[in-house]
Amino acid sequence: MSGNIPLIIWSGGYDSTALVLDCYERAERFDLLSIDIINNKNKVICETKAQNKILSTLKPNKLLRNHYRWECGNISNSGDWRLSQPVIWLTAVMMFLRKEHYQIKFGYYKGADPLNGTDILYTTFNEMFKLCRFDFKRPEISIPFLLSDKETIFRDWYFNDDYALGKKIYPHIWTCEGPLKKGRGYIECKKCVPCLSKYKTLCIIENFNQ
Ligand SMILES: [Zn+2]
């Protein structure tokens, strides 16, 4: 028997949250898998807080089945022997994969570079799946935004006047990798790669709308 529920790899950022919104749009039930690599304590605090806010906003719709979470030590950027983050994500997928999952969804968009190319992502996933000797059918990997740029994702899901849920979720999303402490909370650094990408996208949208 093959599955009927997608497993979404969810960081709580704009792209993976758009995958969640897509399930709401189609009223499809789903599972989430979040992988917190503890390489920056403040970032994890901000991300977890943001994820909880997003989930409580979505909760009344009852489409979320399970939210799996893996808190993983700092294995991705210590010393010279770095493990590529997508390998960690695929390892986590193997831990939480169930026969109900027909798809593993990643929020990569055009230009994001998983494992230096999606071919390697598919191959690595297939080989890992074989090694795990599961007794169910291999789910497919789905990357719905592979041909979309960041502006398109923002416009379609967060700045779309016809889509109230996305507008409601937008203020809760956190992507900054270098949060700065301010008072009792944190503010964005506006300097890290995700901050620069966010503000560049917002500038493009603003210029376009003028
Ligand atoms: Zn930042």
Handedness of CA 128, 101, 85, 68 (dihedral sign): negative
Domain count, the chain: 1
Centre of ligand 1 to C-alpha 195, Å, is 4
CA of 206 to the centre of ligand 1 (A): 20
Instruction: Please give the distance, rounded to the nearest whole angstrom, from the Cα atom of residue 188 to the centre of ligand 1.
Output: 5
**175 C-alpha to ligand 1 centroid (Å):** 7
What's the CA-to-centroid distance between 80 and ligand 1, angstroms? 24
The CATH number linked to 195 is 3.40.50.620
Taking Cα atoms as reference points, which of 207, 202, 204 lies closest to residue 188? 202
Each residue's pLDDT tens digit in the chain (210 positions)? 568 999 999 999 999 999 999 999 999 999 999 998 877 889 989 999 999 999 999 887 789 999 999 988 776 554 556 667 778 889 999 999 999 999 999 998 887 766 667 888 899 999 999 999 999 999 999 999 999 999 999 999 999 998 999 999 999 999 999 999 999 999 999 999 999 999 999 999 888 777
C-alpha 113 – ligand 1 centre gap (Å): 20
In which domain, by residue range, is 181 found?
A: 5-209
Is 17 within 8 Å of 57 (Cβ atoms)? no
